[in-house]
Structure 1
Amino acid sequence: MKLASYTKDGTPGFGIVTEAGIIPLNGRLDGITSLQELIENDGFDAAQAVTDGATLDPADVTFTIPVGQPEKIWCIGVNYGNRNAEYKDGSDLPKYPSLFVRSRQSFVGHGVPLERPRVSEQLDYEGEIALVIGKGGRDISRESALDHVFGMTLCNEGTIRDWLRHGKFNVTQGKNFDRSGAIGPWIVTADELDPEAELSLETRVNGEVRQKDTTANMMFPFDVLISYLSSFATLSPGDIIVTGTPTGAGARFDPPVWLKPGDVVEVEVPGIGILSNGVADQETNNA
């Protein structure tokens, strides 16, 4: 099942994505008013029972990130083996995942432009697979970790590269610019696409393939990430884990190739779909 969040004529909605369109779930599930509440309240079976109703054309809605207010968005750095070599620092493969957190405000939904900020032209793309936690927990074993996955979605973990170097030991600034990344277009539930399967990931800029790899090359697979994160923090339903990007980001070109207004970035995983976003300059100071 594919589940999406959106707005239509300014009103929030959520629904099941089918070939015929989106079946709205607003008002059809007892006590559940959003996709986030569906996940938090174990509403999968109730949603799956909805098989009919008028559909919306996806072109008539504005997609938002599937989980509107996740408690935590964890992001994993340098998780594909060839990305470690890409740094050309001679380092051994890491023993533990690198990670940082991002705010909800740093992401937009499918079809909404990424924002290049006033203070930098170094907006870069990073195509990734994101896990959505369905069943929370602490000290989750690797053996049971994938039982905690509600489903998967896609992420363009947009980054302002020069701001990554503002701090000596952190990348928080460059990873949290408002509207610099995207998540979506929907969540594919774990019963439809097995998180244990080998998945192919491709990122394109203006139709040109920039990143291409498979989850078989991850240094820390999904089950390891869930177990590791839960060893120090309780995972909650609706939490998002952005699992790492392959080699080929714009920063690694010589000279670097940054995103600019008018560019279109597509992140694709067969079985999930395509996350597509244009690029625009920051227009207003929202202070």
Structure 2
Amino acid sequence: MQPRFATFTHQGETHYGAITDQGVVELSSRFPQWPTLREVIEAQGLSQLAEATAKHKANILQSEITYRIPIPMPEKLICVGVNFPDRNEEYKDGQSALSNPSLFIRFPRSFVGHDVPLTRPPESPQLDYEGEIVIVIGKGGRRIPEATALDHIAALSLCNEGTIRDWVRHAKFNVTQGKNFDGTGSIGPWLVPYADESQIADIRLTTRVNGELRQDDRTSRMIFSFRKIINYISTFTTLVSGDMIVTGTPTGAGARFDPPIWLKPGDVMEVEAEGIGILRNGVVDETR
């Protein structure tokens, strides 16, 4: 089994460690030079964490932790929109896929960790799901060539890129509002270290709601490859260690049903990808 590194809270303190079949191997206290997984990645230290995991037994039960997003405060959280062929057709605007990806920014506070409920805000009932794969930048860079772009990936994770649908249509040119309500999305459960291109070339990505399969596609069908995404984004901004790129969702979100099916308290979503794992979240109403 590949190493799986998570950020979590245990007994009121935040740590990082390895998730194993036997439980959690707490690692942050063994590497005080790296306060979070962001610093681990910056120092190219994931292999050292893997070595430490092999040497130590699990010392915390999984049932005793609360998952957080794996990189607590990434400098950038950049999301790619409309990155699967059927997703482009959903817009019914007669346009073929464009030659460059659509992008938007999310704030870390808009995400929770694995097994933590998403929050439906009182301003709108239109909370929707979007299952996606996340790439975490290891080696930073600017104007990164497509040929070497994959060398800049440190790890993979999953995202439920929860969206307040009516709020993405409040203005003419942006979706920022509907994508950034506190706690409406999730990232996790953990980071899986990136090895080589075969690991990401044809991943099956699915989303289930209350056990019903809603989204199902493969990364080999993405309009913009991982290479293209890294190349394009790094053209206008310097990517740094720990930046997280959410790479796009397949067709099948709740907004595309007739009538739309919005998430409600009690629903359970599972985003799953081969070789990465399952990201699970419920839904609760925000209390004010």
1:194–1:105 distance in 2 versus 1, CA, 3 Å: farther
Residue 55 of structure 2: SS of its match in structure 1? coil
Q: CA deviation at 1:9?
A: 1.2
Give, as a single letter, the amino acid of the residue that structure 2 aligns with 1:119: E
Corresponding residue for 1:177?
181
Cα deviation 1:216-272 (Å, max 9, x = unaligned): 110001010000000110001000000000000000000000000000010000211
Corresponding residue for 1:53?
56
The question of 1:163 aligning with 2:167 is answered yes
Cα deviation 1:139-194 (Å, max 9, x = unaligned): 10001100000010000000000001111100000000000000000010012885
2:37 to 35, 38, 43: 35
Corresponding residue for 1:25?
27
Q: CA RMSD in A?
A: 1.2
Give, as a single letter, the amino acid of the residue that structure 2 aligns with 1:14: Y
Distance (Å, rounded) in 2 between the aligned partners of 1:92 and 1:44: 40
The question of 1:249 aligning with 2:253 is answered yes
The number of residue pairs the alignment matches comes to: 284
Distance (Å, rounded) in 2 between the aligned partners of 1:140 and 1:26: 31
Residues 7 and 37 of structure 2 are in contact (CA less than 8 Å); yes or no, is this contact kept in structure 1? yes
User: Which stretch of structure 1 is more off in the superposition, 15-24 or 242-251?
Assistant: 15-24
1:6–1:153 distance in 2 versus 1, CA, 3 Å: same
1:137–1:192 distance in 2 versus 1, CA, 3 Å: closer
The question of 1:216 aligning with 2:220 is answered yes
Distance (Å, rounded) in 1 between the aligned partners of 2:51 and 2:259: 53
Distance (Å, rounded) in 2 between the aligned partners of 1:149 and 1:187: 12
TM-score, normalisation: structure 1:
0.96
Gaps of 5+ in 1: none
Distance (Å, rounded) in 2 between the aligned partners of 1:65 and 1:195: 22
User: Which stretch of structure 1 is more off in the superposition, 93-102 or 54-63?
Assistant: 54-63
- Give the share of equivalent positions with the same residue, in percent: 54
Distance (Å, rounded) in 2 between the aligned partners of 1:141 and 1:114: 37
The question of 1:14 aligning with 2:16 is answered yes
Q: CA deviation at 1:45?
A: 3.0
Give, as a single letter, the amino acid of the residue that structure 2 aligns with 1:201: L
The question of 1:188 aligning with 2:192 is answered yes
Corresponding residue for 2:137?
133
Distance (Å, rounded) in 1 between the aligned partners of 2:146 and 2:197: 19
Residues 100 and 172 of structure 1 are in contact (CA less than 8 Å); yes or no, is this contact kept in structure 2? yes
1:267 to 264, 271, 276: 271
Distance (Å, rounded) in 2 between the aligned partners of 1:193 and 1:25: 28
Residues 127 and 202 of structure 1 are in contact (CA less than 8 Å); yes or no, is this contact kept in structure 2? yes
Give, as a single letter, the amino acid of the residue that structure 1 aligns with 2:105: V
1:79 to 74, 80, 83: 83
Give, as a single letter, the amino acid of the residue that structure 1 aligns with 2:61: D
Pairing of 1:107-126 with structure 2 (within 5 A): 107-126=111-130
Residues 23 and 52 of structure 1 are in contact (CA less than 8 Å); yes or no, is this contact kept in structure 2? no
User: Whose helix fraction is larger, Structure 1's or Structure 2's?
Assistant: 2
Q: CA deviation at 1:80?
A: 0.2
Gaps of 5+ in 2: none
Distance (Å, rounded) in 2 between the aligned partners of 1:10 and 1:277: 21
TM-score, normalisation: structure 2:
0.96
Instruction: List structure 1 segments (4+ residues) > 2 angstroms apart after TM superposition.
Output: 191-197
2:155 to 142, 151, 154: 151
The question of 1:142 aligning with 2:146 is answered yes
